[in-house]
Amino acid sequence: MKISTEPPPELVLSWEKLQLPVKIEFAVDDIVLANAAEELKGPTGFGWQGYTSAANYAVQNKVGYDKALVWIDRAIAINSNFTTLKVKADLLDATGKKAESEAMMKDAVAAATEVELNQYGYQLLGANQQDRAIEIFLQNTQRHPKSANAFDSLGEGYAIKGDKKNAIISFKKSLSMNPPANVRANSEKYLRQLGAM
């Protein structure tokens, strides 16, 4: 399902030397949600991705929460995974159900892969939730103790928070695991910045 967010077109009426701009506006969210509902009746509705995409659109644009909750429940029934559970947690949070949202997010984190945990940690860092990001990165290192990338990301979390000691420990642990070139370069860059290399 492709969702467009282009600005509304403008029509310019010209009459001799006079030009009159006329904005053409649409109720974009209503159109997108109606289109999503229609598409989900067809082949798109057989997989969890279409329902999740439609529900996530509603969350991101703060519209149609009732429909979105139905869609995400269908997605979870098809495939309960980090993505579907996180969108449900986001919807619950958006509708003021904080305790339910937190419980759902715990389920999402429990179902997450190494890559999903890593990405979620970086989302939290981007939202300036450093302590929560470090918790997620720590969980990732505990679940994947042989992942140099997990320790590199944990090091970044500590470095961004300003915890130099734990950042250095994490980056050195990453380097001790013979990481891929991109991970090695990142760990070495941070260690140089931290004066530990």
The pLDDT score that the predictor gives to residue 69 is 95
Token pair listed for 14: 């010209």
The pLDDT score that the predictor gives to residue 50 is 86
pLDDT reading at 187 higher than 70: yes
The answer to the question of residue 85 being in a domain is no
pLDDT reading at 159 higher than 70: yes
CATH number at residue 194: 1.25.40.10
Instruction: For residue 11, list its beta bridge partners.
Output: 22
Are 186 and 116 contained in the same domain? yes
The pLDDT score that the predictor gives to residue 46 is 63
The answer to the question of residue 105 being in a domain is no
The pLDDT score that the predictor gives to residue 134 is 98
Q: Which of 67, 101, 103, 97 is nearest to 87 (CA)?
A: 101
Q: What is the mean pLDDT of residues 27-52?
A: 67
The DSSP 8-state label assigned to residue 96 in this structure reads T
Tens digit of each residue's pLDDT (9 = 90 or more) over 96-137: 999 999 999 999 999 999 999 999 999 999 999 999 999 999
The pLDDT score that the predictor gives to residue 41 is 66
The answer to the question of residue 5 being in a domain is yes
The answer to the question of residue 92 being in a domain is no
What mean pLDDT value characterizes the chain?
87
| Distance between first and last Cα of the chain | 48
Pick the last residue of a domain from 79, 97, 124: 79
Are 118 and 190 contained in the same domain? yes
Confidence of residue 4 (pLDDT cuts 50, 70, 90): very low
The pLDDT score that the predictor gives to residue 44 is 59
